[in-house]
């Protein structure tokens, strides 16, 4: 597997369980792939466990053919810069960053290392210039980017082609009104009525 394919794999594993992305599975025999990580989460956090479990599916196993060159777990925001500088010297194949602050720290230190970022919105955070043409050395998963709303609906409509009315459940503390409006607008363009329900607790919800 070439370095570029390994970068794609990291991005795919980061995206799951949001969306399964097909990637190459072949590895170069005997090669050790070097992965750097910057995150405030612990190694045992559910999302990190899921991330490494997904890498195993593709045949990459920590301590075997995958080496974590610097265990950047449980970091505070004020630690990202120092750890990122040390990480860049270790020359990993990829740096995986699980926050905008971690990504900015890696961007400032690892100018020639590929960075895979997990962000709510890479464009809004100023980390890339566009999803189609990010520029620089950053790629990744933009979970809430409004630019993707139309594409999300297209994928859903491929699964249920006859759907004309779709309900969405959103947490108002997480999803901004502008994002919900953009999603509704994307639905109208495709002839779909999107009914949004918001819920701040497991017990109550209200329709928008």
Q: Is residue 188 over pLDDT 50?
A: yes
Q: What is the mean pLDDT of residues 56-62?
A: 83
Q: What is the pLDDT of residue 200?
A: 67
The pTM assigned to this predicted structure is 0.63
Q: What is the pLDDT of residue 10?
A: 57
Question: C-alpha 80: how far from its chain's center?
Answer: 18
Low-confidence winner among 11-15, 27-31, 111-115, 138-142 (lowest mean pLDDT): 11-15
Per residue in 1-30, pLDDT (tens digit) is: 455 555 555 555 554 433 333 344 445 667
Q: What is the mean pLDDT of residues 180-189?
A: 82
Q: What are residue 119's DSSP bridge partners?
A: 142
Question: Whole-angstrom Cα distance, residue 208 to residue 194?
Answer: 10
Question: Whole-angstrom Cα distance, residue 98 to residue 196?
Answer: 28
Q: What is the pLDDT of residue 204?
A: 58
Q: What is the pLDDT of residue 149?
A: 64
Q: What is the pLDDT of residue 25?
A: 47
Higher pLDDT, 174 or 33: 33
Higher pLDDT, 40 or 155: 40
Residues 6 or more apart whose Cβ sits within 8 Å of residue 185: 149
- Write down all domains in the chain, each with its CATH number in brackets: 3-143 (3.40.50.2300), 147-207 (no CATH)
């Amino acid at each position: 597997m070439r370095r570029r394919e390994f970068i794609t794999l990291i991005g795919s594993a980061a995206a799951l369980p949001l969306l399964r992305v097909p990637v190459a599975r072949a590895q170069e025999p005997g090669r050790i792939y070097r992965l750097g990580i910057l995150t405030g989460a612990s190694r045992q956090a559910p999302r990190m466990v899921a991330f490494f479990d997904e890498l195993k599916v593709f045949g990459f196993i920590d301590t075997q053919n995958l080496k974590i060159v610097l265990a950047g777990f449980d970091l505070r925001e004020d630690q990202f810069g120092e750890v990122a500088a040390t990480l860049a010297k270790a020359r990993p194949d990829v740096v995986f960053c699980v926050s905008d602050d971690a990504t900015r720290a890696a961007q400032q230190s690892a100018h020639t290392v590929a960075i895979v970022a997990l962000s709510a919105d890479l464009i809004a955070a100023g980390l890339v210039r566009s999803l189609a043409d990010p520029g620089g050395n950053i790629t990744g998963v933009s979970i809430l980017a409004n630019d993707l709303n139309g594409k999300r609906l297209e994928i859903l409509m491929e699964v249920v082609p006859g759907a004309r009315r779709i309900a969405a459940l959103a947490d108002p503390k997480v999803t901004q009104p502008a994002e919900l409006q953009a999603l509704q607008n994307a639905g109208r363009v495709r002839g779909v009525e999107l009914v949004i329900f918001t819920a701040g607790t497991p017990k109550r919800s209200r329709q928008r």
